Amino acid sequence: MRRYPPIQLQRPYILFYLLPVADYRRNFIPGGSFFFTVNLADRRSNLLTKRIDLLRTAFRSVRARHALSVEAIVVLLDHLHTIWTLPAGDADFANRWRLIKTEFSRGIETGEQRSPSHSAKGERGIWQRRYWEHTLRDEIDFERHCNYVHFNPVKHGHVRTVSEWPYFSFRRFVRLGVYPSEWAGNREDDGENYVER
Ligand code: NI
């Protein structure tokens, strides 16, 4: 009588495909994973995508000097949303943002309008000084905010389907097996209170 392999043999394959999905959530560190919304001062500006090269350089240079894991990011015309993980015991995201903003601004020709508070401190007027920070609570919160980040270009009406947007970490997530390439978003994760102006 012919013997068939036990069905359990298939399990490693299933695990192989499931693991990467679970893996990205494991990057969550309690008290060390953050969601940010960071805005340009001028909301009619498109400097972030127009000078995406500068923004990439600014991120690269801060990452060369400080531990910083960018878990997810979307760059829109005038603002960005991103999820960072910092090493345990180091929650100094403020300094990292200061460096990124300063380096980006340095590459932009001067002459922008400056608010009185920017002028008073001798700062450039490219970025809004304040930004939104939310410390992610758990892996579910982490996952929801990743979904929020990647759906954002559709939310803002820049593209009709998620995969059309060029400036975000979506393709990395597709490679990891987190999303199918035609991922249509998860509207229930598209919370109203993630601070969009
Ligand atoms: Ni947005």
Domain boundaries, the chain: 33-175
Cβ neighbors of 10 (< 8 A, separation 6 or more) are none
Model pLDDT, residue 1: 53
**What CATH topology corresponds to 33-175?**
Alpha-Beta Plaits (3.30.70)
How far is the centre of ligand 1, averaged over its atoms, from the C-alpha of 122 (Å)?
A: 28
| Contact residues for 34 (Cβ-Cβ < 8 A; gap 6+) | 83, 84, 85, 86, 93, 133, 134, 135, 136
Q: What angle do CA 145, 189, 184 make, to 5 degrees?
A: 100
The predicted-structure confidence for 49-89, as pLDDT tens digits, reads as follows 999 999 999 999 999 999 999 999 999 999 999 999 999 88
> Whole-number mean pLDDT of the chain?
87
81-114: pLDDT as tens digits: 999 999 988 999 999 999 999 999 999 988 888 8
pTM, entire model: 0.85
* Cα of 71 from ligand 1 centre, angstroms: 17
CB 36, CB 133: distance < 8 Å? yes
pLDDT level of residue 193 (50, 70, 90 thresholds): low
**pLDDT for 110:** 87
- Say yes or no to pLDDT of 192 above 90: no
Distance 8 CA to ligand 1 centre (A): 45
Distance 104 CA to ligand 1 centre (A): 19
- How much distance in Å is there from the Cα of 45 to the middle of ligand 1? 14
Strands 69-75 and 79-85: antiparallel
Among 24, 167, 179, 194, the one annotated catalytic = 167
Instruction: Identify the pLDDT of residue 2.
Output: 57
| pLDDT of amino acid 19 | 52
Higher pLDDT, 143 or 192: 143
Of 196, 56, 62, 41, the C-alpha closest to 129 is 41
Has 167 been annotated as catalytic?
yes
